[in-house]
């Protein structure tokens, strides 16, 4: 009787182990798919954010190109006026218009665009810093998984501060340009001095324009960096997909390996319940009948003892 109880217990434990192994394979693979799917979604979102940043940089580059062209035009016009003002006084009024109206308007247009450019630059800086710190260091079923993008982004001067510095260099310039009008009116009879002032202004515009002309090259370098990061993200996504299948295979192997002994436990329990391992059906039936006859005889003996 004790043998049958042990056999029943081992049979039950073995069956439960097999069920747990099968359920672990099914739900474990689903959990792995869910985990890696979330990681893939994060990488896709990062890629989309970088694409948006590239579009913003391209727009900023076009805006700076327009400002650069405008300042080129203003600088050339100012220089031409400075050359002709010494020869004819009527040109002084035209110089006054160019210097006190057109040039300040162009500089103010650029100043108004700098906050938006600085905001875009701050977003890019934050994105690049986040991607530089991005790494995965986890252990799944004893298997270490480590990923990083291989990006080291630590500029000496943040991108947004560079734009803000450019904006600071332009502060007060429109007012200075407008104040020239009054000076030109007062110095109408001193054309030589006015010509020198206009030449100096033209030089300032050339300096500012030279600084602005350097910005598109920096934007191109940032776009190239973002493109490289996008390529790295695509590589990481491919590697993640490959690792996903590997993790699922390892998980399946481990759970199946764990479930095989449970099958042996079921076989042993079955043997304890119904007889020798590998016995034929006839032998098992004979063993069961013998056990039943022995139990009936014990019951009869107990009844006889009670009657006596």
Residue 105 has pLDDT above 60, yes or no: yes
Can you give the pTM of this predicted structure?
A: 0.38
What's the pLDDT at 281? Answer: 46
* Mean pLDDT of the 232-247 span: 77
Residue 303: the pLDDT is 58
Half-sphere exposure of 159 (CA within 13 A, CB side): 27
Q: What is the mean pLDDT of the chain?
A: 72
pLDDT at 28 (0 to 100): 80
Quick: pLDDT tens for 274-301.
655 445 545 545 555 565 566 556 666 6
pLDDT tens-digit series, residues 170-194: 677 777 777 777 766 666 667 776 7
Q: 89: how many CB neighbours lie within 10 A of its CB?
A: 12
């Amino acid at each position: 009787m004790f043998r049958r109880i042990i056999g029943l217990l081992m049979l039950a434990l073995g069956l439960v182990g097999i069920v747990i192994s099968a359920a672990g394979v099914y739900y474990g693979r689903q959990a792995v798919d869910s985990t890696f799917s979330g990681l893939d979604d994060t990488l896709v979102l990062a890629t989309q954010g970088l694409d948006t940043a590239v579009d913003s940089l391209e727009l900023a580059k076009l805006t700076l190109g327009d400002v650069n062209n405008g300042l080129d035009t203003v600088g050339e016009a100012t220089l031409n006026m400075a050359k002709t003002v010494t020869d004819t006084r009527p040109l002084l009024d035209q110089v006054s218009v160019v210097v006190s109206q057109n040039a300040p308007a162009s500089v103010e247009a650029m100043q108004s665009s700098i906050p938006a450019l600085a905001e875009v630059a701050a977003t890019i800086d934050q994105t690049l810093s986040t991607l530089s710190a991005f790494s995965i260091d986890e252990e799944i079923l004893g298997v270490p998984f480590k990923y990083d993008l291989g990006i080291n982004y630590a500029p000496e001067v943040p991108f947004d501060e560079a734009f803000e510095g450019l904006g600071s260099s332009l502060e007060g310039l429109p007012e200075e340009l407008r104040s020239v009008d009054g000076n030109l009116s007062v110095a109408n009879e001193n054309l030589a001095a006015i010509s020198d002032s206009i030449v100096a202004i033209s030089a300032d515009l050339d300096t500012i324009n030279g600084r602005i002309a350097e910005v598109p090259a920096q934007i191109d370098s940032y776009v190239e960096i973002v493109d490289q990061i996008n390529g790295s993200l695509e590589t990481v996504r491919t590697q993640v997909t490959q690792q996903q299948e590997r993790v699922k295979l390892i998980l399946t192997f481990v759970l199946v390996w764990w479930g095989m002994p449970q099958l042996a436990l079921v076989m042993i329990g079955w043997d304890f319940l119904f007889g020798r391992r590998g016995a034929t059906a006839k032998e098992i039936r004979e063993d069961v009948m013998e056990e039943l006859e022995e139990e009936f005889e014990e019951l009869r003996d107990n009844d006889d003892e009670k009657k006596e």
